[in-house]
Structure 1
Amino acid sequence: MQNALGADCVPPREAVRPSELRADEILLYPILLPDRIELIYAQGGPGGTQYRRLPANRTADRATVAALVAEVVNATSGDASAAWRAPARRLYQLVIRPIEDRLRPDGTLVIIPDGPLRALPFSALLDGQDAFLVTRTGITVAPALTYSQPGRDRGGRALSVVAASLQKTVVLPAGYFAKLEGTAEEAQVAAAVGGGGARNSRHIADFQTADLQAALSRGHVDVLHVATHAAFNGRSDRSFIVADGEAIPMADLRRLITANRGRGDELDLLVLSACETAVGDDQASMGLAGAAVQSGARSAIASLWQVDDRGTVELMKQFYGGYRGGLGKAEALRAAQLNLIARGGRLAEPGIWAAFALLGAWR
């Protein structure tokens, strides 16, 4: 974790205990070895007091899984061909099938991915009936056992959101960042501009560091939603988000967030959208998880690859509608993804909805 975060000072947390899981929650820890795949799991409810090890699978190994993940990611994030289907079925059989009968439609599967699995959109894996894994259960990913706490229910309290967007071309020493057409609309959806959430939330268009600092200092914030270009290069000390005329390193974003947090008043969710992540880089999601961990956020949602504007806006409309309505984060993201699948057409392609992953606390 320290290597991935690029810092020696990582907030200490205790490893999640099986007894903390609810009956409909299952934690899965796949371990990829040179000659086999090992699966360790824990499930809540009666008897859920320990981790259990399943029989090793010697028909595949780490190299096999890495190749399959690369096929899925390249196909789903690329030309929308059907080439992802066969490897998605195979990965389901290797990783999910052994605990398939324990999954619950209203529950959550918490996955601690090893190596190349960190880049995998688990929600798009296909079962024996060619149904997506997300149709079976909610899904969240954690970078380690010590960062897989379930979080707490928000209850009936109104959601407070700071949504920042960048919708202009920016040229920086770090590179050329083209105009993003849909980010302002997306941020307005997050902040519920024109809806019932506007009183507790705000949208900052073409934001700068000072704008974030001012917004976060005004009081309690549940969600920070940032719609802009971003780079996650494995380690968070080499990662940044793009603002108006500047790049904001993740370490600086962390300082902005933590400077205005009261003791025990953590940011519940950090949403990083329109990200430009290195496709197939198994350290990318660790960099993303590091952004959330270092910022003090309980969880993060981000795109594993860049998604078209319309798909992002539609998914965020559905997600925030469910989240504001009282659903947990994993429930709200799953409901949003199922909504896009049910619509059919372009929005139903996994290259759109499966790009978004939840890391960390799921409740």
Structure 2
Amino acid sequence: LFRSLADGEAEAALRAIELGRGLALHAATSTLEVPELLRDLGHPDLAEAWAGHTREDRPVAGPESVTAGNLRHRVLEVLRGTPAGTRLFAAPSTADVAEGLAGHGIDALVYVVPGADRSPGRLIGVDRDGRPITCELPNLVVRPGGPLAAFAAAAQDDAGTWRAALEALCDWAGTTVLAPLLDVVGRGSRVVLVPLGGLGVVSWPAARLGESRFGCTELVLSTAASARQFLDCLRRSPQPLDRDPVLVTDPQGNLGFAAEEALVLHDVFYPGARLLGDLRGFEPGDDGPPLPEARPATPAAFLAHVPGAGTAGASLLHLCCHAEVGAAAEASRLRLTEDLPIETVLRHAVRREPDAPGGTVVLTSCSSDLTAADHDEALTLATAFLAAGAVTVIGSRWNTDDRGTAILMFAVHHFLVRDGLRPAEALRAAQLWMLDPARDRLEGMPEAMIGDLTLPGTTGIPVWGAFAHHGR
């Protein structure tokens, strides 16, 4: 990578980055085919080692124990040159990326590369006209005790320390990355960021330049795990949101305002939506509509609305339920009436039509846009749903205040449904609305939510800054 940059070979540098995005991502993007491919090629032991690695994200035990990097190298060597391997691991060209950007009104795709050893960090990318983007970032070096390491180490239940670490991280990301990025792409551009390494924990919409300038005020931002997965999403057309929306609330009834959030979205924006979850404890008001019917949020009921053989899945999946985040997406699970491993969701989607229209997925609870260990190559819940056939996913980098999240989600759906904005623009509009102390009242917002806007902690960076957009 750095040799290619030193030689001025931007195309080779982009290819090197993309190929380094990790075999775990490519495996899930290709619907978990890698172990099956290895078995077909006569390497059952390597298939089992890879399957064990993706499940547990740890070195494989045994007489020929290998590290994760060595395992990936061995798998790449076996698959290299085969038709399946070419399909899995060939990086998209800059021309392919530029064509995708231009066709969807996106200005640039930019990898954010942290520095290594004596090499500075960099922005490396391509714009919609196919021109390479390269920019040195001398301060983008991850150091022990620096803002990135301090935030990653901070426990969220220690609210004061965690908030201070978040503020410092936002300031660092703003001066180190956002300012030079703006010099390259210009204010108001729509940009897809592919952050590498530990930079996956950064909230780019909340990257801050001064008191009132943030990533979301300056740019329309999306995040991608790789250019390949981003282009895969662009090839799928979006389903209309109101075709078959599904709202999933906490089946155990103990997640704060989750049921209230789902009911408000149902009543105001999606009156025909199906509801999964527990609404016990809610009584309709004297003047309010009766409670809609809700089915139990069982794994089987949920999977019925996920893309699979002969079905495109729900047009909208809005999840207000707990999730348990593992070291990789395959080790993560949704907390329904019974735990539903995300690997099951991915396997359910194996037989879907690759370019079938996809739905929008909104993950409002827990760290749905982060993994518990490797923040770079391991898949998050958000990218796993893209691999399963969604065209857009909005996920959270950390746990958020329930009241504030319900308000933010109302605003997101307001801008999606009432204003007809695209998901990336709708999330940005909701974040800008949260930032504005003179914000307008949104049509249909319940009085209780309006009152909650005055409570401490409902409109700050820890709420709106947690959420990022993926996909088209």
Alignment match, 2:380: 287
* Structure 2 portions without partners, runs of 5+: 1-21, 35-86, 279-296, 438-453
Range moving further from structure 2, 104-113 or 149-158 = 149-158
Alignment match, 2:431: 337
1:194 deviates by 2.2
1:166 equivalenced with 2:250 (yes/no) = yes
Amino acid at match of 2:460: E
Closer/same/farther in 2, CA of residues 329 and 233 from structure 1, 3 Å limit = same
Kindly indicate which of the two structures has a greater share of residues assigned to helix: 2
1:70 deviates by 3.6
1:24 deviates by 5.6
1:69 equivalenced with 2:148 (yes/no) = yes
In structure 2, distance between residues paired with 1:100 and 1:53:
13
Q: Secondary structure at the match of 2:379?
A: helix
Whether the 8 Å contact between 1:231 and 1:241 is mirrored in structure 2 is yes
1:134 deviates by 0.8
1:228 deviates by 1.2
In structure 2, distance between residues paired with 1:185 and 1:5:
38
Higher relative contact order (CA 8 A, sep 6+): 1
1:247 equivalenced with 2:322 (yes/no) = no
User: What pairs up with 1:22-101 in 2 under 5 angstroms?
Assistant: 22=102, 25-32=107-114, 33-35=116-118, 36-44=120-128, 48-54=129-135, 56-63=136-143, 67-72=146-151, 79=159, 81-101=163-183
Alignment match, 1:268: 359
Q: Secondary structure at the match of 2:361?
A: strand
When the two chains are superposed, the root-mean-square deviation of aligned CA atoms in Å is 3.3
Amino acid at match of 1:209: P
In structure 1, distance between residues paired with 2:275 and 2:171:
41
In structure 2, distance between residues paired with 1:346 and 1:283:
26
1:357 deviates by 1.5
Aligned residues: 342
Alignment match, 1:20: 100
Amino acid at match of 1:202: R
Q: Secondary structure at the match of 1:164?
A: strand
Amino acid at match of 1:204: L
Q: 1:197 aligns with which of 270, 282, 301?
A: 270
In structure 2, distance between residues paired with 1:52 and 1:340:
32
Deviation string 1:206-228 (CA, Å, 9 cap, x unpaired) is 41112223455887522222221
Closer/same/farther in 2, CA of residues 129 and 102 from structure 1, 3 Å limit = farther
Q: 2:299 aligns with which of 209, 215, 219?
A: 209
In structure 2, distance between residues paired with 1:127 and 1:294:
34
1:273 deviates by 2.2
Amino acid at match of 1:96: L
Amino acid at match of 2:99: S
Amino acid at match of 1:187: A
Closer/same/farther in 2, CA of residues 131 and 82 from structure 1, 3 Å limit = farther
Closer/same/farther in 2, CA of residues 118 and 208 from structure 1, 3 Å limit = same
1:111 equivalenced with 2:193 (yes/no) = yes
Normalising by structure 2, report the TM-score.
0.63
In structure 1, distance between residues paired with 2:196 and 2:425:
24
Q: Secondary structure at the match of 1:62?
A: coil
Whether the 8 Å contact between 1:72 and 1:120 is mirrored in structure 2 is no
1:223 equivalenced with 2:307 (yes/no) = no
1:128 deviates by 4.7
In structure 2, distance between residues paired with 1:213 and 1:20:
30
Whether the 8 Å contact between 1:319 and 1:336 is mirrored in structure 2 is yes
Deviation string 1:157-206 (CA, Å, 9 cap, x unpaired) is 7453211111526xxxxxxxxx21211222334xx42235323x211114
Q: Secondary structure at the match of 1:185?
A: helix
Whether the 8 Å contact between 2:98 and 2:127 is mirrored in structure 1 is yes
Closer/same/farther in 2, CA of residues 196 and 117 from structure 1, 3 Å limit = closer
Q: Percent identity?
A: 23
Closer/same/farther in 2, CA of residues 53 and 5 from structure 1, 3 Å limit = closer
Q: 2:257 aligns with which of 182, 197, 202?
A: 182
Alignment match, 2:391: 298
Whether the 8 Å contact between 1:4 and 1:236 is mirrored in structure 2 is no
Whether the 8 Å contact between 1:270 and 1:297 is mirrored in structure 2 is yes
In structure 1, distance between residues paired with 2:412 and 2:362:
11
In structure 2, distance between residues paired with 1:132 and 1:159:
35
Amino acid at match of 1:283: H
Whether the 8 Å contact between 2:304 and 2:313 is mirrored in structure 1 is no
In structure 2, distance between residues paired with 1:121 and 1:335:
16
Range moving further from structure 2, 80-89 or 28-37 = 80-89
1:21 deviates by 2.0
Whether the 8 Å contact between 1:140 and 1:330 is mirrored in structure 2 is yes
Whether the 8 Å contact between 1:119 and 1:280 is mirrored in structure 2 is no
Closer/same/farther in 2, CA of residues 18 and 214 from structure 1, 3 Å limit = closer
